[in-house]
Amino acid sequence: MSNYKESIDFIKSKFYSKDFIPLHAPHFGGNEKKYLLETIDTTFVSSVGAFVDTFEDKMCKITNTQKAVAVVNGTAGIQVALKLVGVQANDEVITQALTFVATVNAIIYNSANPIFLDVDLDTMGLSPKAVEDFLNEYGDLREDACYNKKTGQKIAACVPMHTFGFPVHLDELIEVCAKWKIPVIEDAAESLGSYYKGKPTGSIGNLGVFSFNGNKIVTSGGGGAIVTNNLELGIKGKYLTTTAKKPHPYEFFHDEIGYNFRMPNLNAALACAQLEQLDKFLENKRELAGFYKTFFDSKGINFRTEAPNTKANYWLMCVELENKTERDIFLKYTNENNVMTRPIWQLMFRLPMYENCQKDAQKNALFLEERIVNIPSSFRI
Ligand SMILES: *Cc1c(COP(=O)(O)O)cnc(C)c1O
Protein backbone atom coordinates (compact mmCIF):
# COMPACT_ATOMS: atom_id res chain seq x y z
CA MET A 1 0.00 0.00 0.00
CA SER A 2 2.75 2.41 0.90
CA ASN A 3 4.14 2.61 -2.59
CA TYR A 4 2.91 5.86 -4.05
CA LYS A 5 5.45 6.09 -6.84
CA GLU A 6 2.79 5.52 -9.49
CA SER A 7 0.68 8.32 -7.99
CA ILE A 8 3.61 10.70 -8.22
CA ASP A 9 4.43 9.69 -11.79
CA PHE A 10 0.80 10.06 -12.76
CA ILE A 11 0.46 13.55 -11.24
CA LYS A 12 3.72 14.69 -12.86
CA SER A 13 2.61 13.37 -16.24
CA LYS A 14 -0.67 15.27 -16.01
CA PHE A 15 1.23 18.51 -15.39
CA TYR A 16 3.80 17.67 -18.08
CA SER A 17 6.62 18.24 -15.62
CA LYS A 18 9.29 16.47 -13.66
CA ASP A 19 9.87 19.56 -11.52
CA PHE A 20 8.02 20.79 -8.45
CA ILE A 21 4.22 20.59 -8.82
CA PRO A 22 2.43 23.15 -6.63
CA LEU A 23 -1.00 22.57 -5.08
CA HIS A 24 -2.63 25.45 -6.87
CA ALA A 25 -0.98 28.15 -8.99
CA PRO A 26 -2.89 31.06 -10.53
CA HIS A 27 -3.14 31.16 -14.32
CA PHE A 28 -3.05 34.46 -16.23
CA GLY A 29 -4.07 33.64 -19.76
CA GLY A 30 -6.43 36.46 -20.69
CA ASN A 31 -6.75 40.24 -20.45
CA GLU A 32 -4.94 40.56 -17.11
CA LYS A 33 -2.08 42.78 -18.31
CA LYS A 34 -4.32 44.86 -20.56
CA TYR A 35 -6.81 45.69 -17.79
CA LEU A 36 -4.10 46.36 -15.21
CA LEU A 37 -2.35 48.79 -17.56
CA GLU A 38 -5.67 50.49 -18.17
CA THR A 39 -5.97 51.29 -14.44
CA ILE A 40 -2.53 52.89 -14.46
CA ASP A 41 -3.05 54.78 -17.73
CA THR A 42 -6.32 56.23 -16.41
CA THR A 43 -4.89 56.77 -12.87
CA PHE A 44 -7.86 54.88 -11.41
CA VAL A 45 -5.92 52.37 -9.32
CA SER A 46 -7.63 52.83 -5.99
CA SER A 47 -11.02 52.77 -4.34
CA VAL A 48 -13.14 53.98 -7.25
CA GLY A 49 -13.07 52.90 -10.86
CA ALA A 50 -14.95 51.22 -13.64
CA PHE A 51 -13.52 47.75 -13.00
CA VAL A 52 -15.11 47.63 -9.54
CA ASP A 53 -18.53 48.20 -11.11
CA THR A 54 -17.85 45.72 -13.92
CA PHE A 55 -16.67 43.16 -11.38
CA GLU A 56 -19.84 43.54 -9.32
CA ASP A 57 -22.01 43.20 -12.45
CA LYS A 58 -20.13 40.10 -13.53
CA MET A 59 -20.53 38.55 -10.08
CA CYS A 60 -24.29 39.17 -10.15
CA LYS A 61 -24.49 37.40 -13.52
CA ILE A 62 -22.26 34.48 -12.58
CA THR A 63 -24.02 33.83 -9.28
CA ASN A 64 -27.48 34.81 -10.51
CA THR A 65 -27.96 37.33 -7.70
CA GLN A 66 -29.48 40.81 -7.37
CA LYS A 67 -26.49 42.49 -5.76
CA ALA A 68 -22.76 41.90 -5.45
CA VAL A 69 -20.43 43.96 -3.27
CA ALA A 70 -16.70 43.94 -4.01
CA VAL A 71 -14.65 43.84 -0.82
CA VAL A 72 -11.02 43.80 0.22
CA ASN A 73 -10.97 40.06 1.00
CA GLY A 74 -13.24 37.14 1.77
CA THR A 75 -12.72 37.34 5.52
CA ALA A 76 -13.94 40.95 5.61
CA GLY A 77 -16.88 39.86 3.45
CA ILE A 78 -17.96 37.24 5.99
CA GLN A 79 -17.45 39.72 8.82
CA VAL A 80 -19.81 42.24 7.20
CA ALA A 81 -22.31 39.58 6.04
CA LEU A 82 -22.71 38.51 9.68
CA LYS A 83 -23.35 42.10 10.68
CA LEU A 84 -25.89 42.48 7.87
CA VAL A 85 -28.02 39.63 9.20
CA GLY A 86 -27.94 41.24 12.64
CA VAL A 87 -25.16 39.42 14.50
CA GLN A 88 -24.18 41.41 17.60
CA ALA A 89 -21.75 41.09 20.49
CA ASN A 90 -22.23 37.89 22.54
CA ASP A 91 -24.50 36.30 19.93
CA GLU A 92 -23.66 32.78 18.82
CA VAL A 93 -23.03 31.57 15.27
CA ILE A 94 -23.24 27.95 14.15
CA THR A 95 -20.46 26.78 11.83
CA GLN A 96 -18.22 23.80 11.14
CA ALA A 97 -14.91 23.04 12.88
CA LEU A 98 -13.62 21.58 9.61
CA THR A 99 -12.88 24.87 7.87
CA PHE A 100 -10.20 27.44 7.18
CA VAL A 101 -9.62 29.68 10.19
CA ALA A 102 -11.01 32.79 8.44
CA THR A 103 -14.60 31.56 8.81
CA VAL A 104 -14.23 31.57 12.58
CA ASN A 105 -12.13 34.73 12.81
CA ALA A 106 -14.88 36.62 10.98
CA ILE A 107 -17.37 35.53 13.67
CA ILE A 108 -15.04 36.71 16.44
CA TYR A 109 -14.51 40.11 14.73
CA ASN A 110 -18.22 40.69 15.47
CA SER A 111 -17.56 39.79 19.14
CA ALA A 112 -19.80 36.76 18.62
CA ASN A 113 -18.98 33.16 19.50
CA PRO A 114 -18.86 30.11 17.23
CA ILE A 115 -20.67 26.83 17.89
CA PHE A 116 -18.85 24.04 16.07
CA LEU A 117 -21.16 21.36 14.64
CA ASP A 118 -20.29 18.28 12.64
CA VAL A 119 -19.98 17.96 8.85
CA ASP A 120 -21.42 15.35 6.50
CA LEU A 121 -19.05 12.67 5.22
CA ASP A 122 -20.16 13.07 1.61
CA THR A 123 -19.89 16.89 1.31
CA MET A 124 -17.33 17.64 4.07
CA GLY A 125 -19.57 20.64 4.84
CA LEU A 126 -21.91 21.51 7.71
CA SER A 127 -24.40 18.69 8.36
CA PRO A 128 -28.12 19.64 8.42
CA LYS A 129 -28.68 16.65 10.72
CA ALA A 130 -26.03 17.86 13.17
CA VAL A 131 -27.63 21.33 13.20
CA GLU A 132 -31.10 19.85 13.71
CA ASP A 133 -29.92 17.60 16.55
CA PHE A 134 -28.16 20.50 18.27
CA LEU A 135 -31.18 22.80 17.98
CA ASN A 136 -33.60 20.09 19.17
CA GLU A 137 -31.48 19.78 22.30
CA TYR A 138 -30.46 23.39 22.96
CA GLY A 139 -32.72 25.59 20.84
CA ASP A 140 -35.27 27.85 22.50
CA LEU A 141 -37.44 29.36 19.77
CA ARG A 142 -38.86 32.74 20.80
CA GLU A 143 -40.88 35.42 18.98
CA ASP A 144 -37.81 37.25 17.65
CA ALA A 145 -35.17 34.55 17.29
CA CYS A 146 -33.63 31.30 18.49
CA TYR A 147 -31.77 31.25 21.81
CA ASN A 148 -29.37 28.72 23.27
CA LYS A 149 -30.91 27.10 26.38
CA LYS A 150 -27.48 26.39 27.79
CA THR A 151 -25.97 29.88 27.51
CA GLY A 152 -29.06 32.09 27.16
CA GLN A 153 -27.49 33.75 24.11
CA LYS A 154 -29.11 34.35 20.74
CA ILE A 155 -28.11 32.00 17.92
CA ALA A 156 -27.98 34.73 15.31
CA ALA A 157 -26.58 33.04 12.19
CA CYS A 158 -25.39 29.82 10.62
CA VAL A 159 -22.33 29.72 8.34
CA PRO A 160 -21.92 26.55 6.28
CA MET A 161 -18.73 26.32 4.22
CA HIS A 162 -18.51 24.60 0.81
CA THR A 163 -15.28 22.71 1.44
CA PHE A 164 -12.89 22.74 -1.55
CA GLY A 165 -15.89 23.69 -3.74
CA PHE A 166 -18.12 20.72 -2.81
CA PRO A 167 -21.60 22.15 -2.04
CA VAL A 168 -23.18 21.34 1.33
CA HIS A 169 -26.74 19.94 1.56
CA LEU A 170 -28.27 23.41 1.38
CA ASP A 171 -32.00 22.62 1.07
CA GLU A 172 -32.03 20.54 4.22
CA LEU A 173 -29.81 23.00 6.07
CA ILE A 174 -31.86 26.05 5.09
CA GLU A 175 -35.07 24.24 6.06
CA VAL A 176 -33.77 23.55 9.57
CA CYS A 177 -32.41 27.07 9.96
CA ALA A 178 -35.67 28.64 8.72
CA LYS A 179 -37.64 26.58 11.24
CA TRP A 180 -35.44 28.04 14.00
CA LYS A 181 -35.36 31.58 12.51
CA ILE A 182 -31.63 31.47 11.90
CA PRO A 183 -30.25 33.33 8.83
CA VAL A 184 -27.77 31.43 6.66
CA ILE A 185 -24.56 32.90 5.26
CA GLU A 186 -22.76 30.68 2.78
CA ASP A 187 -18.99 30.77 3.13
CA ALA A 188 -18.58 30.23 -0.60
CA ALA A 189 -14.94 31.42 -0.54
CA GLU A 190 -13.82 28.18 -2.20
CA SER A 191 -16.83 27.45 -4.39
CA LEU A 192 -17.07 30.02 -7.19
CA GLY A 193 -18.58 28.10 -10.12
CA SER A 194 -20.11 25.32 -7.99
CA TYR A 195 -23.82 24.53 -8.21
CA TYR A 196 -26.38 23.05 -5.86
CA LYS A 197 -29.45 21.66 -7.64
CA GLY A 198 -28.74 23.97 -10.58
CA LYS A 199 -28.25 27.10 -8.49
CA PRO A 200 -24.86 28.78 -7.94
CA THR A 201 -23.47 28.36 -4.44
CA GLY A 202 -23.46 31.66 -2.59
CA SER A 203 -26.86 32.61 -4.04
CA ILE A 204 -29.00 30.31 -1.92
CA GLY A 205 -28.55 31.47 1.68
CA ASN A 206 -29.45 34.98 2.85
CA LEU A 207 -25.98 36.07 1.76
CA GLY A 208 -22.96 34.38 0.21
CA VAL A 209 -19.30 35.35 0.33
CA PHE A 210 -16.52 34.58 -2.16
CA SER A 211 -12.76 35.00 -1.92
CA PHE A 212 -10.41 36.05 -4.71
CA ASN A 213 -7.19 35.37 -2.86
CA GLY A 214 -4.22 34.16 -4.90
CA ASN A 215 -4.88 30.48 -4.20
CA LYS A 216 -8.58 30.46 -5.15
CA ILE A 217 -10.01 29.38 -8.54
CA VAL A 218 -10.12 33.03 -9.69
CA THR A 219 -7.87 35.65 -8.14
CA SER A 220 -7.83 39.43 -7.84
CA GLY A 221 -4.51 39.31 -5.99
CA GLY A 222 -6.58 39.77 -2.85
CA GLY A 223 -10.28 40.39 -2.68
CA GLY A 224 -13.75 39.16 -1.94
CA ALA A 225 -17.40 39.59 -2.82
CA ILE A 226 -20.66 39.49 -0.89
CA VAL A 227 -23.63 38.40 -3.02
CA THR A 228 -27.33 38.30 -2.24
CA ASN A 229 -30.83 38.24 -3.69
CA ASN A 230 -31.97 40.51 -0.89
CA LEU A 231 -31.46 43.87 -2.57
CA GLU A 232 -31.93 45.83 0.64
CA LEU A 233 -29.21 43.83 2.44
CA GLY A 234 -26.94 44.15 -0.60
CA ILE A 235 -27.26 47.92 -0.72
CA LYS A 236 -26.63 48.10 3.02
CA GLY A 237 -23.55 45.93 2.46
CA LYS A 238 -22.13 48.32 -0.12
CA TYR A 239 -22.83 51.23 2.22
CA LEU A 240 -21.19 49.61 5.25
CA THR A 241 -18.08 48.51 3.36
CA THR A 242 -17.52 52.00 1.91
CA THR A 243 -17.42 53.98 5.19
CA ALA A 244 -21.22 54.47 5.47
CA LYS A 245 -21.11 57.80 3.65
CA LYS A 246 -24.35 59.58 2.79
CA PRO A 247 -24.31 60.41 -0.94
CA HIS A 248 -23.52 64.10 -1.48
CA PRO A 249 -21.56 65.91 -4.23
CA TYR A 250 -18.98 67.31 -1.79
CA GLU A 251 -19.99 67.01 1.87
CA PHE A 252 -18.77 64.20 4.11
CA PHE A 253 -21.41 62.81 6.41
CA HIS A 254 -21.38 59.30 7.85
CA ASP A 255 -24.37 58.16 9.91
CA GLU A 256 -22.88 54.99 11.36
CA ILE A 257 -19.53 53.28 11.85
CA GLY A 258 -18.69 51.87 8.44
CA TYR A 259 -15.63 50.06 7.20
CA ASN A 260 -13.05 50.73 4.55
CA PHE A 261 -13.38 47.28 3.04
CA ARG A 262 -13.38 48.37 -0.60
CA MET A 263 -11.68 46.34 -3.30
CA PRO A 264 -9.22 48.62 -5.13
CA ASN A 265 -9.84 49.08 -8.85
CA LEU A 266 -6.39 47.57 -9.51
CA ASN A 267 -7.54 44.30 -7.98
CA ALA A 268 -10.95 44.47 -9.64
CA ALA A 269 -9.20 44.79 -13.03
CA LEU A 270 -7.36 41.52 -12.40
CA ALA A 271 -10.58 39.88 -11.18
CA CYS A 272 -12.47 40.96 -14.33
CA ALA A 273 -9.84 39.44 -16.60
CA GLN A 274 -9.88 36.25 -14.52
CA LEU A 275 -13.67 35.96 -14.42
CA GLU A 276 -13.72 36.03 -18.23
CA GLN A 277 -11.85 32.72 -18.03
CA LEU A 278 -13.93 31.07 -15.31
CA ASP A 279 -15.71 28.63 -17.67
CA LYS A 280 -12.37 27.60 -19.14
CA PHE A 281 -10.93 27.06 -15.63
CA LEU A 282 -13.95 24.98 -14.61
CA GLU A 283 -13.76 22.75 -17.69
CA ASN A 284 -10.03 22.29 -17.31
CA LYS A 285 -10.36 21.25 -13.66
CA ARG A 286 -13.25 18.90 -14.36
CA GLU A 287 -11.13 17.17 -16.98
CA LEU A 288 -8.29 16.72 -14.47
CA ALA A 289 -10.77 15.43 -11.87
CA GLY A 290 -11.87 12.80 -14.42
CA PHE A 291 -8.27 11.67 -14.98
CA TYR A 292 -7.64 11.53 -11.24
CA LYS A 293 -10.84 9.57 -10.60
CA THR A 294 -9.96 6.88 -13.14
CA PHE A 295 -6.39 6.64 -11.91
CA PHE A 296 -7.07 6.56 -8.17
CA ASP A 297 -9.99 4.13 -8.62
CA SER A 298 -7.56 1.73 -10.27
CA LYS A 299 -5.25 2.06 -7.24
CA GLY A 300 -8.00 1.56 -4.69
CA ILE A 301 -7.62 5.14 -3.39
CA ASN A 302 -10.75 7.18 -2.77
CA PHE A 303 -10.66 10.32 -4.95
CA ARG A 304 -13.41 12.60 -3.64
CA THR A 305 -16.14 13.56 -6.10
CA GLU A 306 -19.26 15.73 -6.01
CA ALA A 307 -22.46 14.54 -4.27
CA PRO A 308 -25.59 13.86 -6.38
CA ASN A 309 -27.54 17.01 -7.37
CA THR A 310 -24.42 19.12 -7.02
CA LYS A 311 -21.74 20.33 -9.39
CA ALA A 312 -18.39 21.05 -7.77
CA ASN A 313 -15.87 23.51 -9.18
CA TYR A 314 -13.05 21.08 -8.28
CA TRP A 315 -11.05 24.01 -6.98
CA LEU A 316 -8.81 21.89 -4.74
CA MET A 317 -9.04 18.18 -5.37
CA CYS A 318 -8.46 15.60 -2.68
CA VAL A 319 -8.08 11.95 -1.87
CA GLU A 320 -9.24 10.15 1.24
CA LEU A 321 -6.58 7.77 2.58
CA GLU A 322 -7.46 4.69 4.62
CA ASN A 323 -6.24 6.00 7.96
CA LYS A 324 -3.90 8.51 9.54
CA THR A 325 -0.82 6.30 9.19
CA GLU A 326 -1.44 5.85 5.48
CA ARG A 327 -2.16 9.57 5.13
CA ASP A 328 1.16 10.45 6.74
CA ILE A 329 3.05 8.08 4.43
CA PHE A 330 1.31 9.64 1.40
CA LEU A 331 2.06 13.19 2.58
CA LYS A 332 5.71 12.47 3.28
CA TYR A 333 6.35 10.56 0.06
CA THR A 334 4.65 13.07 -2.25
CA ASN A 335 6.21 16.15 -0.67
CA GLU A 336 9.68 14.55 -0.67
CA ASN A 337 9.23 13.89 -4.37
CA ASN A 338 8.33 17.42 -5.45
CA VAL A 339 4.58 16.84 -5.58
CA MET A 340 2.97 19.28 -3.20
CA THR A 341 0.19 17.80 -1.07
CA ARG A 342 -1.38 19.10 2.12
CA PRO A 343 -3.57 17.60 4.84
CA ILE A 344 -7.00 19.13 5.39
CA TRP A 345 -7.09 21.77 8.16
CA GLN A 346 -6.85 20.84 11.81
CA LEU A 347 -10.26 21.19 13.42
CA MET A 348 -10.84 24.71 14.73
CA PHE A 349 -11.24 23.66 18.38
CA ARG A 350 -7.60 22.51 18.35
CA LEU A 351 -6.44 26.11 17.92
CA PRO A 352 -5.60 27.71 21.26
CA MET A 353 -8.03 30.64 20.88
CA TYR A 354 -10.96 28.37 19.97
CA GLU A 355 -10.39 25.37 22.25
CA ASN A 356 -13.16 26.27 24.70
CA CYS A 357 -15.90 26.88 22.14
CA GLN A 358 -19.13 24.88 22.19
CA LYS A 359 -19.10 21.81 19.96
CA ASP A 360 -20.81 18.49 19.32
CA ALA A 361 -19.15 15.07 19.04
CA GLN A 362 -17.55 15.88 15.63
CA LYS A 363 -17.60 12.24 14.55
CA ASN A 364 -17.31 12.88 10.79
CA ALA A 365 -15.01 15.89 11.11
CA LEU A 366 -12.56 13.78 13.14
CA PHE A 367 -12.71 11.00 10.54
CA LEU A 368 -12.00 13.39 7.65
CA GLU A 369 -9.32 15.32 9.53
CA GLU A 370 -7.22 12.15 9.69
CA ARG A 371 -7.67 11.12 6.07
CA ILE A 372 -8.20 13.96 3.58
CA VAL A 373 -5.22 15.21 1.56
CA ASN A 374 -5.28 17.86 -1.16
CA ILE A 375 -3.41 17.08 -4.35
CA PRO A 376 -2.19 19.36 -7.18
CA SER A 377 -5.21 21.00 -8.82
CA SER A 378 -3.90 23.91 -10.92
CA PHE A 379 -5.13 24.89 -14.36
CA ARG A 380 -3.26 22.73 -16.87
CA ILE A 381 -1.84 24.57 -19.86
C1 LIG B 1 -9.96 31.68 1.50
C2 LIG B 1 -11.04 31.46 2.49
C3 LIG B 1 -11.60 32.51 3.24
C4 LIG B 1 -11.05 33.88 3.31
O5 LIG B 1 -10.79 34.53 2.18
P6 LIG B 1 -9.65 35.67 2.13
O7 LIG B 1 -9.97 36.35 0.86
O8 LIG B 1 -8.33 34.97 2.11
O9 LIG B 1 -9.83 36.55 3.31
C10 LIG B 1 -12.67 32.24 4.06
N11 LIG B 1 -13.16 31.02 4.18
C12 LIG B 1 -12.65 29.98 3.51
C13 LIG B 1 -13.24 28.64 3.70
C14 LIG B 1 -11.55 30.16 2.66
O15 LIG B 1 -11.03 29.10 2.03
Walk along the chain (381 residues) and give the pLDDT tens digit of each residue: 457 999 999 999 999 988 999 999 999 999 999 999 999 999 999 988 999 999 999 999 999 999 999 999 999 999 999 999 999 999 999 999 999 999 999 999 999 999 999 999 999 999 999 999 999 999 999 999 999 999 999 999 999 999 999 999 999 999 999 999 999 999 999 999 999 999 999 999 999 999 999 999 999 999 999 999 999 999 999 999 999 999 999 999 999 999 999 999 999 999 999 999 999 999 999 999 999 999 999 999 999 999 999 999 999 999 999 999 999 999 999 999 999 999 999 999 999 999 999 999 999 999 999 999 999 999 999
Tell which CATH architecture fits domain 32-275: 3-Layer(aba) Sandwich (3.40)
Q: Are 62 and 192 in contact (CB under 8 A)?
A: yes
Nearest CA residue ID for atom 2, ligand 1: 189
Phi and psi of 102, rounded to 5°? Answer: -60, -35
Q: Give the per-residue pLDDT at 63.
A: 98
Nearest CA residue ID for atom 14, ligand 1: 189
Query: Ligand 1 pocket check: which of 99, 213, 241 to mutate, most ligand atoms within 8 Å of Cβ?
Result: 213
**Pocket of ligand 1 contains residue 106 by CB under 6 Å:** no
Number of residues in the chain: 381
Nearest CA residue ID for atom 10, ligand 1: 102
Rounded CA separation 209/223 (Å)? 11
150 is catalytic: no
**Pocket of ligand 1 contains residue 96 by CB under 6 Å:** no
- Closest by alpha carbon to 344, among 320, 322, 315, 311? 320
DSSP conformation class of 349:
G
Q: Which of 83, 216, 236, 285 is flagged as catalytic?
A: 216
Give the CATH number of domain 2-23+278-375.
Answer: 3.90.1150.10
Number of the ligand 1 atom closest to the C-alpha atom of 224: 7
State the distance from the centre of ligand 1 to the C-alpha of 205, rounded, in angstroms: 18
**Pocket of ligand 1 contains residue 75 by CB under 6 Å:** yes
Q: Has this prediction a pTM greater than 0.85?
A: yes
State the distance from the centre of ligand 1 to the C-alpha of 53, rounded, in angstroms: 22
State the distance from the centre of ligand 1 to the C-alpha of 220, rounded, in angstroms: 13
The residues of the chain that CATH labels 3.90.1150.10 are: 2-23+278-375
Question: Residue 369: CB partners within 8 Å, gap ≥ 6?
Answer: 98, 343, 344, 345, 346, 347
**Pocket of ligand 1 contains residue 99 by CB under 6 Å:** yes
State the distance from the centre of ligand 1 to the C-alpha of 10, rounded, in angstroms: 30
Query: Ligand 1 pocket check: which of 190, 226, 263, 342 to mutate, most ligand atoms within 8 Å of Cβ?
Result: 190
Q: Report CA 113 to chain centroid distance, whole Å.
A: 19
Q: Give the per-residue pLDDT at 18.
A: 83
Q: Report CA 17 to chain centroid distance, whole Å.
A: 30
Q: Give the per-residue pLDDT at 1.
A: 45
The residues of the chain that CATH labels 3.40.640.10 are: 32-275
- Closest by alpha carbon to 168, among 74, 95, 82? 95
**Pocket of ligand 1 contains residue 296 by CB under 6 Å:** no
Rounded CA separation 31/49 (Å)? 17
